[in-house]
Amino acid sequence: MGFWEGKKILVTGGAGFLGKHVVSELENIGVKKDNIIVPRVENCDLKIQKNCNKAVLGIDIVIHLAANVGGIAYNLAKPAEIFYDNAAMALNLIDASYRAGVCKFIGIGSACEYPKLTPVPFSECDLWDGYPEESNGAYGLSKRMMLVQSQAYYKQYGFNAIHLLPTNMYGPGDNFDPNSSHVIPALIRRISDAQNRNKSFIEVWGSGEASREFLYVRDAAKAIILAAEKYDKPEPVNIGCGYEIKIKYLVTLVCRLMKFNGEVRWDTSRPDGQLRRSLDISRAREGFGFRAATQIEEGLKETINYWDHNRLLK
């Protein structure tokens, strides 16, 4: 508790998927609930500068998780909204934090910032070697702009702003909306719907040959807390588990865990997205001692259990 003792912490997006786990982790290490401030978009739209100015008053640490984000279908449908919303929130919040005397700003970026063609595993030094994969280009570039601003304020003002690059996250509390969800919750929802309707098959976008690195959300929350405590450099840091799996294997694994024996039909007219995505996690390990603890099968079981217990509410 030494680092957190007596500090006021603003967690933007604290009511969202990752945010709830970050708030829970802060409480687990002893931070008092009254010291964790979670703004809600209904009364604190971070795209408006005056709202950011007000939100950071008296705050010691900002953990910026709020984002307009979704899966491939959502990214393709709303690139303008995605770019503007994410860029505007970061621009306003970093500037307001610096001017209000915030001690530290933790910005959460994304592995989507990396160029489409990047040597695997992705190293932080390769971040600027090309344009992101087109299906998530607007989102990836909006997050890169947050990194640029963080480093500029670090260089000119000495403002302690760090930037983390988490890979694909999943786990309890994920977004299962079929119009905006990422691959794991979308797959779980699709299989569940097929079972409830006695369908003998499911359809999955792409060829299944693309690979992804998946990070359990509670591990991600712990990484953010560790980075806040121990990392004070302007260079971005990858947050991941250190291994990738093909989407085809992921589908097989989820089908087995959900006891679905039907056919998987691959819609190859739909995009795979980036062919491979796996991170070099050595900087996080060396910089603040983070290692992901949850294996993919264990994390998937927890996510499926969450869906089973909550699906009637969806």
Amino acid at 284: A
Q: Is the dihedral of CA 211, 218, 105, 56 positive or negative?
A: positive
As a three-state string, the secondary structure of 168-200 is EEECCCCCCCCCCCCHHHHHHHHHHHHHHCCCC
CA pair distance 5, 247, nearest whole angstrom:
43
Q: What's the Rg (C-alpha) of the chain? A: 19
CA-closest candidate to residue 76, choices 306, 271, 308: 271
Task: Judge whether 295 and 255 are in contact, CB under 8 Å.
Answer: no
Structure tokens at 51: 């709202």
CA pair distance 52, 16, nearest whole angstrom:
18
* b/e 56-69 (16+ beta carbons within 10 angstroms → b): beebbbbbbbbbbb
Q: CA 13 from chain center: how many Å? A: 11
CA pair distance 174, 158, nearest whole angstrom:
36
Task: Judge whether 53 and 100 are in contact, CB under 8 Å.
Answer: yes
CA-closest candidate to residue 86, choices 170, 147, 18: 147
CA pair distance 148, 129, nearest whole angstrom:
15
Catalytically active residues, by annotation: 139
Phi-psi category of residue 126: left, alpha or beta, with phi > 0 → left and psi -120 to 50 → alpha: alpha
Residues whose CB falls within 8 Å of the CB of residue 56, separated by 6 or more in sequence, listed in order: 10, 62, 93, 96, 97, 100, 102
Q: Is the dihedral of CA 264, 299, 277, 189 positive or negative?
A: positive
